[in-house]
Structure 1
């Protein structure tokens, strides 16, 4: 027997050496995986400057600072509490917190109890037992799962923040849209007033034999067309007012002033700082981290696991005696290791790695979109500024021309078509200038959203 002991010890040593090499190999494979988190960091800092230079831009930290209107801020606060879509996103965040609790519960021992009664030919017996089981987190596998759950929470938090920011921006856009529609209605009403005055003047001339019937028909055609446009714009205004009410979580329409409020131009600073504030990029970054942790979990599934279990049981002839008055303990330890599962674990590793890479490319896509949104908004600010200036110049010229044509028509030097043409041009330019002003103000809201401005302070009793 003595000659067999060295052989037995050699076999045991070989087994432990093989196990150690397996552990080292698996951990090594996990550590040599591509670090997509570092690649995402490098991609964010690769953008060093913005293409366009700004003038008269303000350094802001919140989206609501773009329009300093207490009434509008109050609407945003109301929407955060009552908007149904945002509330669904908030509940999704709460579900993520609960899912993390399920994951972290695996760190703690599991305890179960049972009570059983049997009757065999008049002999009654009762059995009570308590079972305790606990898996040692030897390779920090459960810890990695908990860290992945933390990243899921970070992802959901960022998505919720993004939903809040988008809701605030939509409310501000809707407010400006109502301002726009009211101004367009005012312009069309003024156009209709002028056309009706023309029609009365033409009718007066026609009755005295100074005008032609065609002139009256042309004036009436222009008036009818303007009335149709006015009816369309009035319904558009009513729809916009109702749509704003829906954003606020109510069925009643919301009234707003007709004049545009002052909308500041947000300052674009360093790209990595601006883009780093964006919730969509924060969510995509958290998704990469979660996927990397789950890749580590997939690798560690190849490693052995150690679990401990203890049971406490008692059998007696009465229920009171069976309540563990003289229990029997049993304590077991178990070491398990995967040997052959048909390639299941390796496939799960491959899926986890591909999921991580997919998350990285989703981050890259969001980053490209973010950069493009900022650059487009900065370019639009300059373009719309030039458009406004050109439209102002054109409108001033059109007003002078209209006054001259009005005088010439009353003197009989031109016909009604010439006058109607220049009048229509004047009102069209007024509408175009109003639309360009609206576009520029909305573009500043889009720029603020693209730069990561959001709802970052306590609003409606919430902490973002």
Structure 2
């Protein structure tokens, strides 16, 4: 065979190996069926709020989430994992093509025989090629599994970005609630100081009514000290919330971040869509489906490892004893070879590989079904939780109004000498507790709304109209 025909054979082999790789088809049917509607609500408007960060917290929260998306170390690591997965997919795909290498050789040999000395020099350049012909699609299956792995990693990155946005939002809401709790605690201290002063004045005037005993003075002072202690506890919670927010932003936790002054109003409920839409929207579900697709292709690869493998090798180059002739065609050499190998005995390695791949595929199916079930559960829990938190907020709002009125009347009666100190202090307690409980429930409602947006699988879009 001439050198040109040898080169053409190698080129044809490369062409035959150039069939395009494809992403494995969807296996979402293995996730199981989806219900027709959510049990917690009959409303099923299509679509999803991708700008939920702005909906909840406006521009201040958008700025913080944007900073976290740019600076959070976990997201940087996730982006690196996506790049690694993409590189591994390219590496796996490269195995389907011939490997080419070029080299130069030079040697000098001296021989002494029966008193005669001879010296010989050899120079050469060469191009070598090797290729395993993927007759059965074994290498292609492995390459497409790597593509599915890369796609799964991309979806995992999407999930992490949405999760980070939710964590920043909750940390921001925690700071906002802490601000309100501190303000309420400061107001409570003022009220306790006023009541303690009134009780002491009654005692000092030696009025014989309920407020005229030393025990009641000590009781009012105890309530004041307890309220001051609660104020310091609230301030500590705010400082911890500030530092937690800074860590999510990728900042040093110094407590200097600017955060919300108070909790925002609860925005209108987002469209929940249909349960079946969730399968095509949630990144964790899509990642699990891609992992199943990869497991299926690796199972195919393990089965096809039992089939014969066919390899081609070839080389083209020159060999001469004169360095100046190294590039002349008259010094050319070439070779072309092929081999066919059928596995016969591998000590159970190949069969074990099939069993392992089969078990891995079954695991991936179970993982997908678990992720889907968890996703449905998260949506249902968020929907039903909002119903009862709204009811709780309504009742607590009424409790706050009633307790404020009760505390005002008790204080007025006590100043007029008609009311007892225990009633006065108890009314203050109810007012303080109701205000703190209402702020906590309002924060829980907003946290649950963040959970709902995350459960529904909406992307985080920070900018744009």
1:120 matched to 2:105? The reply is no
The answer to whether 1:381 aligns with 2:381 is: no
- Give TM-score, length-normalised by structure 2: 0.86
3-state SS of 1:170 partner? helix
CA contact (8 A) 2:31 2:368 kept: no
Q: Taking structure 1 as reference, are residues 308 and 59 closer, same or farther at Cα in structure 2, changes over 3 Å only?
A: closer
Instruction: Provide the alpha-carbon RMSD of the alignment.
Output: 2.3
Matched, 1:331 2:319: no
From 81, 93, 101, the equivalent of 1:92 is: 81
Q: What's the counterpart of residue 440 of structure 1?
A: 445
Aligned to 1:150: 147
Deviation at 1:163, TM superposition (A): 0.5
Task: For residue 310 of structure 1, give the secondary structure of its aligned residue in structure 2.
Answer: strand
The answer to whether the 8 A contact 2:48-2:273 is kept is: no
Q: CA deviation at 1:454?
A: 2.2
- Correspondence for 1:49: 37
CA distance in 1: counterparts of 2:130 and 2:348, whole angstroms:
29
Aligned with residue 264 of structure 2, among 240, 261, 264? 261
Larger mean CA deviation between 43-52 and 71-80 belongs to 43-52
Match of 2:11 in 1: none
Structure 1 residue 109, shift from structure 2 partner: 1.4
Consecutive unaligned residues of structure 1, counting only runs of 5 or more, are: 1-34, 460-464
Matched position secondary structure for 2:335? strand
Q: What whole-Å deviation, never above 9, does each CA across 1:128-149 have from its counterpart, x for those lacking one?
A: 3321112222122222222111
C-alpha spacing 1:59/1:140, structure 2 compared with 1 (3 Å): closer
Q: Counterparts of 1:163-312 in structure 2 under 5 Å?
A: 163-210=160-207, 211-251=212-252, 252=254, 253-264=256-267, 265-312=269-316
Where structure 2 has 5 or more consecutive residues not aligned to the other structure, the ranges are 1-23, 111-118
Counterpart residue number, 2:396: 391
**For 2:430, which of 416, 421, 425 is the aligned residue?**
425
1:52-76 Cα deviation digits (max 9, x unpaired): 1268999533132532612211221
In 2, distance between residues paired with 1:59 and 1:438?
Answer: 26
Per-residue deviation at 1:408? 2.6
Structure 2: distance between partners of 1:443 and 1:247: 19
Q: 1:176 to 1:441 in 2, by over 3 A?
A: same
Offset, 1:48 = 2.0
Alignment deviations for residues 348-395 of structure 1 (CA, whole Å, 9 cap, x no partner)? 011111101101111111112111111111110100011011112222
Q: Could you tell me whether the CA contact under 8 Å between 1:181 and 1:233 is conserved in 2?
A: yes
Q: How many residues align?
A: 424
